[in-house]
Structure 1
Amino acid sequence: MEDQAVCCYRHPERETGVSCTRCDRPICPECMVSASVGFHCPECAGGAHASGGGGSSGSGLRRPASTQPRTIAGGSLASDPRLITKILLAINVLVWVVVLSNGNQMINDWAMVGEWPPSDSGFAPVQGVAEGEWYRLLTATFLHEEAFHIAFNMLSLWWLGAPLEAALGRVRFLALYLLSALGGSALSYLLADASQASLGASGAIFGLLGATAVLMRRLNYDMRPVVILLALNLVFTFAWSDIAWQAHIGGLIVGTAVAYGMVHAPRERRDLVQAGTCVAVFLVILGTVLLRTAQLTG
């Protein structure tokens, strides 16, 4: 006889393998509140918070009045757990609209270019990351040209970003997104043709995909859907010659590493480990950029 899927009591459409340690009701990442042992549902967390100042709960658990409910990664619970995802979506769409109305000028100024040799390409000979335009590593990740390109990336950002932001919290999710974007640009800068321009949020999206896999593994979810999705995206990445696969792989590696540090950090030193993970990843990205710049400038 097959086991019946267990779903979150507040979101019946979401399967979960985690239950509240106080009332034993199943809860999804959005509903999880980190506790000293396991996770609590929002109701139990609220009750523990209310009773922390004077009385005791039925299970004998007392919590300080200053204790706030937290996400699985230690982030603060927000009234809108998808705010950063919405802002990133809005920025990408706004930049795309400006690109459409402004021709190729913004692409020329913001795209990820390592170094442009003198040519009739329309780019000045001194343009590129190697010439000090490091901002291109980030600005390129908000640029799109074709409608299908931004549509695919923004749908992926919403599908992957919204639950990740709810599970990690706003600050941690934003750090994950930006580091994944930079990681994709850095690997593209290191391995791709220096005069090849690239753009798009795909590196950041692959970082979110890697982070989703880490989170699902941490929560003991069924890994098959995310593994299949990742495999399909990798096939598409290498099947088309005009896709900057370096950006995809770089974002995937960075997103996986950052997410692992966030959700597996020990509770006692969680903030320190998470910050240390982000700093370490950023230093690796910085070292990669410096190395490639030294190669190009000689």
Structure 2
Amino acid sequence: MDQAAGSGSTQDARSAPVCYRHPDRETGVRCTRCDRPICPECMVSASVGFQCPECVRGASGTGHGPGASRPRTIAGGSVTADPRLLTKILIGINLAVFLVQLSVGDRFSHRFELIGQAYTPYLDGVQGVAEGQYYRLLTSMFLHSGYLHIAFNMLSLWWVGGPLEAAFGRARYLALYFVSGLAGSALAYLLAPPNTAMLGASGAIFGLFGATAVLMRRLNYDMRPVIALLVVNLIFTFNPSMDISWEAHIGGLVAGVVTGYAMVHAPREKRSLVQYGTCAVVLALVVALVLVRTAQLS
């Protein structure tokens, strides 16, 4: 994407307008009050369409009075001073766990990676999910197999997760991340050979990809960039030489699309109920898949 060198004249020459607060971001959405173009990070949900932060502050005075309307994101979340805080925290946790992996060695990874059934008694206490270590469905989301693995996942999390957190709000973004990650783990547990060890944040990140596609469709953005990104990632996913868990990627992607659709299309009067209800339904399906697979392996 080209960088904006000026203000008015450069913007007029573009095929698409740019956000007036972030000149490096093209957008097809405008504030319903001042008609200035705004990106997802600047969108505040209004009774009709979206408004920019300045118009919201102007309409509610200081924004702190008892009658002031509270700014909301497109999905109904609270607008925060740092819209990427949770993304930074998630990246920090992944990097911290990776440093522990490097310092402790394989013994640490073997205890927390996703394994259906223990495939060798090389380490005391190591069992699989089928033996009752269900925590592996969650902990495997924060482990990585090497420098390239974690670098690619964390760059993807920053590029895709930051804008989604700004558009959804913190609580909804966090729910999307963990629902997608657990769905990826559950499908991998169900379909992969039980003695296969799997790890990585890719399931959750593919969920963010799916939700991004839904959000861009909702805002009438050009879908070609996100479709191209998904196609490239799916080509790598199904390349046998890459040794990638396609089950985790597809599980996360499907959960992200379903949850993301609920986040951006839920009716205003029942928004929270529909959004978190959808998360609960997806998690219930995750539990069902895990129980079915555990019964098979038992």
Q: TM-score, normalised on structure 1?
A: 0.92
Query: Superposition pairs for residues 58-207 of structure 1, below 5 Å?
Result: 65-117=67-119, 119-120=120-121, 122-123=122-123, 127-207=127-207
Cross-structure match for 1:57: none
Contact kept? 1:18, 1:26, Cα under 8 Å: yes
Structure 1 unaligned runs (5+)?
Answer: 55-63
Structure 2 unaligned runs (5+)?
Answer: 1-12
Distance 2:73 2:140 in 1: 31
* Letter of the 2:87 counterpart: T
Partner SS for 2:16: coil
Contact kept? 2:57, 2:63, Cα under 8 Å: no
Partner SS for 2:134: coil
Query: Superposition pairs for residues 25-40 of structure 1, below 5 Å?
Result: 25-40=36-51
Distance 1:217 1:194 in 2: 38
Q: In the alignment, does 2:50 pair up with 1:48?
A: no
Give the CA deviation at 1:4.
2.3
Task: Report Cα offsets for 1:23-72 as digits up to 9, x if no partner.
Answer: 11111111111011111111111111128999xxxxxxxxx724200000
Distance 1:180 1:173 in 2: 11
Partner SS for 1:65: coil
In structure 2, do the counterparts of structure 1 residues 295 and 53 end up closer, same or farther at CA, with 3 Å as the change threshold? Answer: closer
Poorly superposed stretches of 4+, deviation over 4 Å: 51-54, 123-126
* Letter of the 2:70 counterpart: Q
Distance 1:46 1:217 in 2: 28
Distance 1:282 1:48 in 2: 39
Task: Report Cα offsets for 1:129-153 as digits up to 9, x if no partner.
Answer: 1111111001001001210000000
Aligned CA-pair RMSD: 1.8
Contact kept? 1:183, 1:251, Cα under 8 Å: yes
Partner SS for 1:50: coil
Aligned residue pairs: how many?
A: 285
* Letter of the 1:292 counterpart: R
